[in-house]
Structure 1
């Protein structure tokens, strides 16, 4: 089941469910630019078309992004290994998108100082 908070207590940004053929975008993030919302929808829907199950993109308490996937126990077509590999591929290919979303969350939700976050990013880029 998709909702604003996951079973682990994380804030769900968005997700898709292959069983119900549904996509969810958390209305708390409706101010995220439309182009990014569309990109997230594509990521989630394509993931569930390829791997099946339920896929969510969530925020940890500290604002970092995590991706979760699970499947019904009776689903014999779901392959955990392939699903995990696909998450790794998404993480690599969409690294800049996720970094921007993490910054957005830290500034808008956690009220961190954006200048400090940007200086941290510059330091990370130098490493």
Structure 2
């Protein structure tokens, strides 16, 4: 389920906190890099994630970015975690930072950006 957010916030840096495995199949791994704002006077209750998908056995550069920026509640992030283990990779986050800054600085973008409140993979299917 997605809800839409209309809020005011100020610019601040994002710090990558974690990478979580979303799903592992015999052929594909899906994971999310999790970011949370730092050093802000205003509290952002959300996590911001970047979602990847990669076929097993392919070179590290052969991946798909499923979402450059997804806004997620703490509950949805917790529901998205799996106990599965898989090899994942770290990629430059330039696209994420651009998308996040756009979300942060433009109230219109924030107003029309859905907030994931269930789990990340379900929200991507919508």
- Into which bin does the TM-score normalised by the smaller protein fall? under 0.3
The structure with higher relative contact order (CA 8 Å, sep 6+) is 2
TM-score by length of 2: 0.27
Q: Computing the radius of gyration over CA atoms, which structure comes out larger, 1 or 2? A: 1
TM-score by length of 1: 0.27
The structure that is helix-richer by fraction is 1
